[in-house]
Structure 1
Amino acid sequence: MVWSQAVRKYSNEFLSIGVDAAALGMSNAVVASTGDVNSGYWNPAGLLKLEDKQVSIMHASYFANIAQYDYAAFGMPIDDRSAFGVSLIRFGVDDILNTTQLIDSQGNIDYNRISLFSTADYALTVSYARALPIEGFNYGVNAKVVRRIIGDFANSWGFGFDFGLQFESDNEWKVGLMLRDITTTYNTWTINEEEYQKIKDAVPGENQDLPETSEITLPKAQLGISKKFEFHNEMSLLAAGNLNMQFAQTNDIISTKAVSIDPALGFEWGYTDLVFLRAGVGNFQQITQIDDSKKLSFQPNIGVGFKYKGIQVDYALTDLGDQSAALYSNIFSLKVDLDIFSR
């Protein structure tokens, strides 16, 4: 049964976490520079940089290993002017104790009535990229399906679209624009009425109202710029910056009623395209203290990567020194050029 309730704004926040340890080590400042299989997430226009089929996987644990975040992607060129990609994200908490039936109607405690359930969010994204007739310009489009499940209690389906644009100048400066949820992503929840009746009075005076069953994810925009500097000793330095914009008033360092902006900077030092060291800083927030004063918080990230014969392993450590409110996370990812199996 689908209940009709008020529409709730802001949803699907698990899609804002990010993918690929290489990008996370640079504080996600990769909208302009992305050019591999992970571009389906960061900016689908970057898929045009793929020279052959490529796959990527990532795993991360959050909240002291309570939540698991997994990602897998595949990308390939279609021809010299177009490319295709598909990716799947899962963010879930498994084996949650359901104690709503622990005490029966007579007040007796029966531990056999405890059960387990999982809550999980899924996102399947299909990406298409194509070169524009204007030299240096590429664009990409994402179509995504979002599935969210809370045990037997409720589940939802959502649909949305993203649009990305990249430009590379003759002197190798790159500019990228990513528009997420451009049509607003709409989620519709289905509530299991039978399960709801079991839990609505689990806590006297609480949980009396049905949850909202319609959600929309408002559009977001990311504007990026990057340049890679090559040195004669086979070293390189990629410098990148992002302006992450939300069209609402938030705690971002730049915040107005129309738009809020959170800047991010990222750097990648490379040696012979074999070893990479990364660092970045982002998530600048104005945090209100107990005395109503404001404190600026930020999140520094670092990372390291190794690439050899088409296989790349990356690691990122986020939230160094607990500068932000979130806990730090160790993130690993693997990227493989599938042409290594045909050599």
Structure 2
Amino acid sequence: MRCARALVLAQTMARACVFMGLAAAAYGQAGGTPGAFLSYGVGGRALAMGGAYYAISDDASAAYWNPAGLSQVQRKEVTTMQATLFQQTKLTYFSFAYPTKSGSTFALSMTQLASSGFEQVDLVLNPATNEPATVTPGGSFSDQQQAMGLSWGKNVTETVSFGMGVKQVTRKLGGSSDNFKTLDIGAMKSMGNAYRLGFG
């Protein structure tokens, strides 16, 4: 019986490894996901916790993690961060939270991933061989992704809070650009003094 369980467990793990490998290969060939920079994480406290911040976000960075956490902000607050991820690539975050007399808290935020210093070349192909005939330097270009957001959070009961956020995400790569919008919805449920659940 133990041998059969071990065999089933080994087969399941092998299938999971194959599936994850295929998914990683497909992701790599797809060139990434638009807006993936929004999953990098922001804030020293949240990053030190490994991103386990959805249920306890209680500062201006809640606009990033879980907009329901804005309900816990008691006064005007600013959060900023800038990190160099690798050469000439920086992740920048800024948010400003403003609690109102009605019990709601609003926040403005900006997340940006900027890379610069890429070499641009002009390539002319030989029509007969389809091989490069001439390659001339064309200067440099940059890749900039940015999300501007407006978020809101409020306690709806003594133990439940709710929040929403909209983001305008833009990307500029060389001379081209595109944009899209996102909607974040989050909730928090207090389970007494020791526990809190976060949904989002």
What TM-score does the superposition give when structure 2 sets the normalisation length? 0.75
In structure 1, distance between residues paired with 2:66 and 2:135:
53
> In the alignment, what sits opposite 2:199?
177
In structure 2, distance between residues paired with 1:176 and 1:88:
23
In structure 2, distance between residues paired with 1:80 and 1:51:
12
Of 153, 161, 177, which residue of structure 1 is paired with 2:183?
161
Determine whether 1:53 maps to 2:44: no
SS of 2:166's partner is strand
Percent identity at matched positions? Answer: 26
- Where do residues 272-291 of structure 1 align in structure 2 (5 Å cutoff)? none
Q: 1:171 to 1:36 in 2, by over 3 A?
A: same
- Where do residues 68-87 of structure 1 align in structure 2 (5 Å cutoff)? 68-79=90-101, 81-87=103-109
> In the alignment, what sits opposite 2:49?
26
Structure 1 residue identity aligned to 2:91:
Y
In structure 1, distance between residues paired with 2:135 and 2:46:
50
Q: 1:79 to 1:109 in 2, by over 3 A?
A: same
Q: Is the 8 A contact 2:121 2:135 kept in 1?
A: no
- Where do residues 301-312 of structure 1 align in structure 2 (5 Å cutoff)? none
* TM-superposed deviation, 1:135: 2.4
Aligned residues: 165
SS of 1:59's partner is strand
Q: What 5-or-longer segments of structure 1 have no aligned partner?
A: 1-7, 179-343
Of 82, 89, 92, which residue of structure 1 is paired with 2:111?
89
Structure 1 residue identity aligned to 2:171:
R
SS of 1:83's partner is strand
Structure 1 residue identity aligned to 2:197:
V
Of 140, 146, 150, which residue of structure 2 is paired with 1:126?
150
Q: 1:109 to 1:36 in 2, by over 3 A?
A: closer
In structure 1, distance between residues paired with 2:33 and 2:149:
19
> In the alignment, what sits opposite 2:67?
44
> In the alignment, what sits opposite 1:99?
121
Determine whether 1:12 maps to 2:35: yes
SS of 1:46's partner is helix
* TM-superposed deviation, 1:137: 0.5
SS of 1:31's partner is coil
* TM-superposed deviation, 1:95: 1.9
CA deviation string 1:3-37 (max 9, x = no partner): xxxxx994311111011121011100011111000
Determine whether 1:144 maps to 2:167: yes
CA deviation string 1:184-214 (max 9, x = no partner): xxxxxxxxxxxxxxxxxxxxxxxxxxxxxxx
Q: 1:166 to 1:104 in 2, by over 3 A?
A: same
* TM-superposed deviation, 1:79: 2.1
Q: Please, what is the CA RMSD of the aligned residues?
A: 2.3
Structure 2 residue identity aligned to 1:45:
A
* TM-superposed deviation, 1:171: 2.8
* More helix, by proportion: 2
CA deviation string 1:11-70 (max 9, x = no partner): 31111101112101110001111100000001111111111111111111123x232111
Q: What 5-or-longer segments of structure 2 have no aligned partner?
A: 1-30, 127-131
SS of 1:140's partner is strand
In structure 1, distance between residues paired with 2:121 and 2:44:
37
